[in-house]
Structure 1
């Protein structure tokens, strides 16, 4: 009992209350995240679109997401985390319902585009807020717990969506919109603004004018973003081409829901232990291993025909995902300046949105032109090349992170929190330790948007 209590304390103890409100919002939102999981099946089986048309709609969702993360990152830094989150969630809930009632291809495409814009505009604000309230020493735990919540919700949603789809696909859109509104309500009632004015140092302005130029000349960070883009191109095949491939094998949407739920189940069971397993190990080596394992998992899909074999491939690439996520999150957290935190979040999220636009279209074209086997074996090749790239570029990233840690830290101002904090709740409004970095420095998290 003492051992279990100690494990729980090491895993979840000492995190600020604001984090747990965000965590609860994530879990509730993901419990209703039906639509994206089943969108490809909905478009091909319910709406009668071809695989290419379905890929186009999913691609438009990714284009909207790319615009949304760019706008969301800027608004996060200029307008604030809280208003950006609230606006994005309310807009996403509205567009979710609109997409559910759309019938013609142009209307479905427009709905997907606007839904992607609003849904993904929330990512930079959420990531920046997580970093604002969680001290650096606790961020690996916090990122892992949030990722755990994402996948607990995803596992449940995948199974429930298969059942709900039998009652009518419109129900998927209604429930998804409702859980998005509940998340917005939690943020409105319980989460205050966490953005902190950055103290100007050595005559530097607190909000640099050349923000975009700074990011575009950060070759170390952009190289890392590029590697994530390729990882996302592979990973997002699980919501675009995998359900179509399983349908071609004669498997039902309910079977797809059960198989893809294995992804969330394995993460729920294993993710709480992964941070301990990789703690103290080279992040570049962990990321390289993750790329290889993910590539193998998706590559084996080329030979799958039965539900159990598809399930096995999902379990394999899920292990790669579990290794990738915590190391990814902490590296991003150490490579983004505090005054540009939202924008850096937006650029990283942009890699997911570009992949979201390209992956279904590219996957559909490769599948139609070269065949199912070429698609999945191509994913395996990309995984191997990414592993080599992580090993080569890793030392430069770690040198940059070390330089930021030893540079002059920013002295943050206390964030304004409309809900009055209780005694002992200081950690919810300001980090327990200064944010380390360059003359201005901060961090980032991502929910592998993937989930």
Structure 2
């Protein structure tokens, strides 16, 4: 990669950004507070309060991920066409409706419908925010020499800070009931909606639709790009493993301790690791690793985490939480390497169709999660070593799917820069 930039601390890096990327990073922080006030407790609610079978819990979680990640391409395409503001506002409004419905849902069909709405809401606002963040990171790289992966790492760390604050909020409300956590999450998104209605620019300096119209081939060109599709497959493997924080991890904690009390602490550990480590890891990776090597190392660490969890199942270390701890630690470090590298690689593989590329990356990954969640849910419902071995095979296979060696990032990527070149600094 090029342009590693100065080794500024997080606060200095944030202060050095223009207003729009600072707003986008704050947006990710707020999104995750509302989201993680609900999601970590969804598995226990479905399997406990509503008494759904393990395979059905896995299917519901897979549907949520697919309706979110699988439909990112819709949000990304709409962002290319209309700019991020209206897409973000629509997504926030739907998330409020979805969380409220989920809080009152009792029947299986209502749970599935509310979960699909919650996921589709994110399919609108998340790609809009991510697309504009990638675009701004490329522009900032061209203007200052600070590697785009460092800006994207700050975006990821802000999301993890929100993920750190969300579960305690949900846990504090759980004695009142799962409905209270859902309504609190909805309340956060009401605040986000109102804030963006006031603060987010109505349009980029130059509409992304202009870039989309001028770049040849559209979706056909992006989706026929074998290197981009290989990146999508590898990212899908990462997302399948990451999704096990909400499926395998709660079941393993229940098996080891007989309850869910430790789950909040494990989510806290994951968030603290990413908040503390994301920027140093990304700074090191920007100097020493290509995007491909960073993703390869991250995926192999995730595979090692699953294998280590399998090996530690008979061990009673840390109150039986040894498998969960090693899985969370290695998954978190792998995430720090994979996510910024994958997002930073997208502009160089999509030739100007940035929103479409960001959306397609997550959509294809979401489809793979949907395919893999129900079988993994059934395996983990049975317990034992086999589910962890199967899980370890996923990132190992994803590593084999990575595109061939990549050259340096192009800091002046013209078709991305053209869309917002007039943004104030």
TM-score range (shorter-chain normalised) is 0.7 to 0.9
- Distance, in Å, in 2 between the alignment partners of 1:352 and 1:206 is 28
TM-score (norm 1): 0.82
What stretches of structure 1 move > 6 A for 4+ residues in a row? 198-201, 404-408
TM-score computed with the length of structure 2 as normaliser: 0.86
The answer to whether 1:412 aligns with 2:410 is no
Deviation at 1:199, TM superposition (A): 9.9
- C-alpha displacement at 1:32, in angstroms? 2.5
Deviation digits for residues 309-340 of structure 1 (CA, Å, limit 9, x no counterpart): 422331122111112222222112332222x2
1:150 to 159, 182, 204: 159
Structure 1 equivalent of residue 85 of structure 2: 82
Describe the SS at the equivalent of 2:204.
coil
For the 8 Å contact 1:297–1:317, the answer to whether it is kept is yes
* 2: CA distance, partners of 1:382 / 1:234: 7
> Do the aligned partners of 2:135 and 2:416 also contact (CA within 8 Å) in 1?
no
Q: Which residue of 1 aligns with 2:3?
A: none
Gapped regions of structure 1 (runs ≥ 5): 417-424, 428-451
Cα deviations across residues 52-97 of structure 1 (Å, max 9, x unaligned)? 1211211221332255313212211222211111101111111110
The Cα of 1:183 is off from its aligned counterpart by 1.7
1:375 aligns with 2:375: no
Aligned to 2:355: 342
**Counterparts of 1:24-35 in structure 2 under 5 Å?**
24-33=26-35, 34-35=37-38
Q: Would you say the 8 A contact 1:237–1:359 is kept in 2?
A: no
Aligned CA distance change for structure 1 residues 19 and 62 (closer, same or farther; 3 Å)? same
Q: CA RMSD in A?
A: 2.8
What SS does the corresponding residue of 1:74 show, helix, strand or coil?
helix
Aligned length: 405
- Greater alpha carbon shift after TM alignment, 237-246 vs 298-307: 298-307
Query: 1:328 matched to which residue of 2?
Result: 342
Question: Structure 1's 183 and 240: CA in aligned 2 closer, same or farther, altered over 3 A?
Answer: same
Partner of 1:432: none
The answer to whether the 8 Å contact 1:55/1:361 transfers is: yes
What is the distance in 2 between the residues matched to 1:287 and 1:160? Answer: 33
2:309 match: 301
Asked if the contact 1:198–1:206 (Cα under 8 Å) also holds between the matched residues in 2, the reply is no
Match for residue 16 of structure 1?
18
Work out the CA distance in 2 between the residues paired with 1:238 and 1:244. 10
Specify which of 192, 198, 219 is matched with residue 183 of structure 1. 192
Match of 1:212 in 2: 219
CA change 1:166–1:191 in 2 (3 A) is same
- The correspondence for 1:62, drawn from 61, 65, 82, is 65
**Aligned residues of 1:132 and 1:194 also touching (Cα < 8 A):** no
SS at match of 1:166: coil
Which residue number in structure 2 is paired with residue 447 of structure 1?
A: none
SS in structure 1 at match of 2:17: coil
User: What is the CA-CA distance between 1:362 and the residue it aligns to?
Assistant: 2.2
Q: Residue 51 of structure 1 corresponds to which residue in structure 2?
A: 54
- Is 73-82 or 255-264 further displaced after alignment? 73-82
Tell me if structure 2 keeps the 8 A contact 1:30–1:153. Answer: yes
| Residue matched to 2:176 | 167
Q: 3-state DSSP class of the match of 1:49?
A: coil
Q: Please report how far the alpha carbon of residue 408 of structure 1 lies from its aligned counterpart in structure 2 after TM superposition.
A: 6.5
